[in-house]
Structure 1
Amino acid sequence: MATAVKSELPPLEDLDDPDFDVFAVERTMRGDYDDPYPVFEEYRKQGAVHKLELNEVFAKHHDVEMHGLNHYTVFGYDACNRVLMDGETFTNYEVFKHSLGKSFGRTVTVMDGEEHQRFRKVLQKAFLPNVVARWGDSLVQPVVDRLMSRFIEKGEADLADDYTHHFPFQIIYSMLLLDPDESARFHKLAVAQLLSQGGYPQGPEATEKLGVFFRAMLEQRRQNPGDDLVSHLATVEVDGQYLDDDVLIAFLRQLVNAGGDTTYRATGVLLAKLLEDPNLYARVCADRSLVPLAIEEALRWDGPVTLTYRYCKRDTEIDGKVIPAGAVVGVCMGSANRDPTKFEDPNRFDIFRKRTVRHLAFAGGPHICIGQHLARVEMTRALEGVLDNLRNVRLDPAKPWPKIISHFMRSPDHIFVRFDV
């Protein structure tokens, strides 16, 4: 486990309005659309490329940072994969500077070309499979155990609100050696960063306050390094120089958000689908070799993010239709992962399906998700925590069953269960 750093850090400042309900606003922004997949499929059947902003098909509120740009959206596996893999034609900076660049700063997601490769190569080393596998025992399991201890004697729980919603965020805090007493504030500010998309001033406020805190943390770890992630990033040298502070701060801002947000959503989908089918749950419980299959199928069937974006640098023809230079291209990964030309009976949740095609839940190409290996470790430990500790767990018949909602950031808000004590 990482060694604690003894010197004090300044406290993380709360929002100026501490009563502002970040989570309620975020919940409203992502909407309550039940099932966007029939809409995705209808567009795919009409053609791979459509001139539209997909968010505006579903959302009640505009993304103020992306609204009004020249939007196209691609559907189906082949078109989405082509855009993701072609980092020369379809780039990131010109599109994400409007959104993630404002929320996080100069993060690798907003970079292109040699600059992106240079910084990604260093950051990616911290999240290689052999590295994150060691975190399973040292970082992930203690968080799983701590959260479960709060409800394991009650015989009932909401596995979303009591468990999945918190565990990946708390793992990130442990990774950064943050004060557990401040975890609720970090969670709030991590989520608040994205409120810039809705025009809320709490978005840039959270970005600024996290930046001040992380700058102090980097300075502290350089002066008194341990064996934790931040100490490594603060002291690693590339071509004889430290990594730029603004890049590291942006990375840490994005880590505390994306490192928790997407994983909790994916884990919620995984648990909901297994618990809806008691026979399948029992098979996975009896045969743990099925856990990785269940995780990959959950990621394919309803991944936590259905849409990402790229910027089209030059006129490019896909499926007989030209996407013009300067267009913002929405990549509907939700459509790709349920493309019937690639996945047999794609709307069926089937952990035993043949895996001849890689799903795109973590995107693909030069910007494929850096944290995908950590996400799989976290999902594994979270599921095994339920399998190992909640005897005779079943969905609570007296309460609503899990409902996966939103057209973009998908997850169930509640997973009410009962179990034997």
Structure 2
Amino acid sequence: MTQLGTTTALPSLQDLLDPRNQADPYPLYSRWRAQAPLARLDDRLMVLTRYEDCAAVLRDGRFGHPEADDPRFAGRRPSLDVLVDEDGRPVRGFLGLNPPDHTRMRALVAQAFTRRRVERLAPRIEELADELFTAMERTPGPVDLIEGLATPLPVAVISELLGVPTEDRHRMLTWSHAVARALVPDFLLPPGAAEQEARARREFTDYLRELVVERRRAPGDDLLSALVTVHDDGDALTENELLATCTLLLIAGHETTVNLIGNGTLALLRHPDQLARLRSDPALTDNAVEELLRYDSPVQLTVRFALQDAEVAGVPVPAGSTLLLLIGAANRDPAAYDHPERLDIGRTPLRHLAFGQGIHFCLGAPLARLETQIALRMLLARAPQVRLADEPEWKDHITLRGLSRLPLSLG
């Protein structure tokens, strides 16, 4: 492993996968960022940990996503392809596309998935959160926030957005957990995970095909109906593009929000001064969510590929290189933030990479923010004595950082 040509004793990719580092990977990131912010693991793989470097790559059109048959990236790209067109070519959601295909497809989706549509969801999200919280209040003893609120709330919201019947929500949850593995690069997946993810993706798309037929016959007021009918100068989403988009929305609309609610709640409980500050000034909630996104990001890493010869911070990056961007490290870069290890819900100005940057900035960011704001306000208002009841447990996922269990006493 080298940094600017200098051999350095640093953590390895296996350290990122080590369960012992799941509870707190940030000391590992700090070592990496301080000793070798541009670490070349081999001739084709680099790891980036600084804010400015990661942000620059995310904005730079020379870095993107390779075609499925590009031999330079065999076995290194995320597992994003299951659907194929009539010519046998993989069909991807716009997350895995470059311009002009990305531009066309995202523009079509953005017409349906508007900020206004998200804002209209607020009363319904509050109603769903109230039902879930009431059920937790009636539970004797400690409750698990992940099971009781953080997981069912986003899955209910994305299910209603897509027009999925209530009785099928448990299937959405199973599919979402498996399909989220698609965000992990192939070379970091545990054995068998790619096959499990592909099987879940096929089951989900088969299910969606039936819903699409129904929405074409009788459109409703849901997002799926809007995606079915959206068009621009005669252009429209093909059925496979629609299915790939819904698969992406399942991950973005569920998994990341579950993690944001869980991680954010845990961070506040471990910083009672900030918890008390937020409780005394609920107007800070929106800013607090941004700081929680920075402090313990639901998305810890992303991958970009050098589609042509480029450079990062003056370091040459040959075409064909794979760049692993450690978002969790970049969001605690002392060059970008004062006291980055400190949680400060009043931090301004506040910028982070939790939702990405550039053309691939997360389309579902407003929805994730809204759900988390509503969940935190309800928790603080209805559980003024909330505290940890036991040690939390973390999911085994290198890309999406989140809790599998967060035991709370609601007081």
TM-score by length of 2: 0.84
Deviation at 1:190, TM superposition (A): 2.0
* SS of structure 2 residue aligned to 1:73: strand
Q: 1:32, 1:143 → 2: CA distance?
A: 36
Residue in 2 aligned with 1:102?
81
CA distance in 1, matches of 2:210, 2:18: 33
Counterpart of 1:123?
109
Residue 40 in structure 1 maps to residue 25 in structure 2: no
Q: Distance in 1 between matches of 2:225 and 2:397?
A: 37
Aligned match of 1:313:
307
Segments of structure 2 that go 5 or more residues without pairing to the other structure are: 1-16, 68-72, 84-90, 183-188
Decide whether the 8 Å contact of 1:307 with 1:334 is kept in 2. Answer: yes
Map 1:134-153 → 2, pairs under 5 A: 134-138=120-124, 140-153=125-138
**CA distance in 1: counterparts of 2:123 and 2:66, whole angstroms:** 37
Contact 2:160 2:222 in 1 (8 A): no
The alpha-carbon distance between structure 1 residues 230 and 135, as it changes in their structure 2 partners (threshold 3 A), is same
Task: Work out whether 1:218 is the aligned partner of 2:218.
Answer: no
Residue by residue, what CA displacement relative to the aligned partner does 1:204-237 show, whole Å, maximum 9, x if unpaired?
Answer: 2211111111122112111111111111110112
**Cα 1:190–1:116, aligned 2, differ >3 Å: closer, same or farther?**
same
| Secondary structure at the counterpart of residue 130 of structure 2 | helix
CA deviation after TM superposition for structure 1 residue 268, in Å? 0.7
1:17 corresponds to: none
2:370 matches 1:367: no
Match of 1:205 in 2: 199
Residue 83 (structure 2) pairs with residue 90 (structure 1) = no
1:411 lines up with 2:402 in the alignment: yes
Is the Cα contact below 8 Å between 2:392 and 2:403 reproduced in 1? no
- Matching residue of 2:44: 70
The number of residue pairs the alignment matches comes to 373
Aligned to 2:376: 383
Match of 2:232 in 1: 238
In structure 1, distance between residues paired with 2:264 and 2:201: 31
Q: CA deviation at 1:31?
A: 4.2
Indicate whether 1:182 and 2:168 are aligned. yes
Give the residue type in structure 2 aligned to 1:119: M
Shift of 1:172: 0.4
- Give the SS at the match of 1:345: coil
Q: 1:78 to 1:277 in 2, by over 3 A?
A: closer
- Compute the displacement of 1:188 (Å): 0.5
Relative to structure 2, which stretch is displaced further, 239-248 or 411-420? 411-420
Which residue is equivalent to 1:291?
285
Amino acid at match of 1:39: L
Q: Deviations over 1:327-373 (max 9, x none)?
A: 11111211211110110111111112232x52111110111111111
Residue correspondence of structure 1 range 267-282 to structure 2 within 5 A: 267-282=261-276
| Conserved 8 A contact 1:30-1:406 | no
Distance (Å, rounded) in 1 between the aligned partners of 2:76 and 2:233:
27
Query: Judging changes above 3 Å, is the alpha-carbon distance between structure 1 residues 35 and 341 closer, same or farther for their aligned structure 2 residues?
Result: same
Partner of 2:160, secondary structure, is helix
Displacement of 1:195 in angstroms is 4.9
Residues in 2 aligned to 1:218 and 1:370: alpha-carbon distance in whole angstroms: 21
CA offset digits 1:55-107 (Å, max 9, x no partner): xxxxxxxxxxxxxx932122201111110001x20012446994242367510
Deviations 1:141-183 (A, max 9, x none): 2321222232212353111222212221221011112121221
Moved more, 181-190 or 36-45: 36-45
SS at structure 2 position matched to 1:50:
strand
Percent identical residues: 30
SS of residue matched to 1:413: strand
Could you tell me whether the CA contact under 8 Å between 2:289 and 2:372 is conserved in 1?
yes
Shift of 1:255: 1.4
Hey, what's the Cα distance between the residues in 1 that align with 2:399 and 2:235?
A: 39
Alpha-carbon displacement from aligned partner over 1:3-39 (angstroms, at most 9, x marks no partner): xxxxxxxxxxxxxxxxxxxxxxxxxx89452322222
Structure 1 residues 43 and 419, CA, compared in 2 at 3 Å: closer, same or farther? closer
Q: Deviations over 1:372-410 (max 9, x none)?
A: 1111001111112212322422222xx225779865322
Matched with 1:21 is: none
**Contact 2:82 2:202 (C-alpha < 8 Å) held by counterparts:** no
Distance in 1 (alpha carbons) for counterparts of 2:369 and 2:112: 15
**SS at 1:361 equivalent:** coil
Which gives a bigger RCO, structure 1 or 2 (Cα 8 Å, sep 6+)? 1
Instruction: From the superposition, tell whether residues 267 and 348 of structure 1 become closer, same or farther in structure 2 (CA, over 3 Å).
Output: same
CA shift for structure 1 position 251: 0.9
Among 151, 157, 178, the residue aligned to 1:192:
178
Between the aligned partners of 1:152 and 1:174, the Cα distance in structure 2 is 24
**Contact 1:47/1:319 (<8 A) preserved:** no
How far apart, in 2, do the equivalents of 1:190 and 1:361 lie? 20
> How well do the aligned residues superpose, as a CA RMSD in angstroms?
2.5
**Equivalents in 2 of 1:103, 1:266: separation in Å?**
28
Inter-partner Cα distance in structure 2 for 1:30 and 1:369: 28
Letter in 1 for 2:312: I
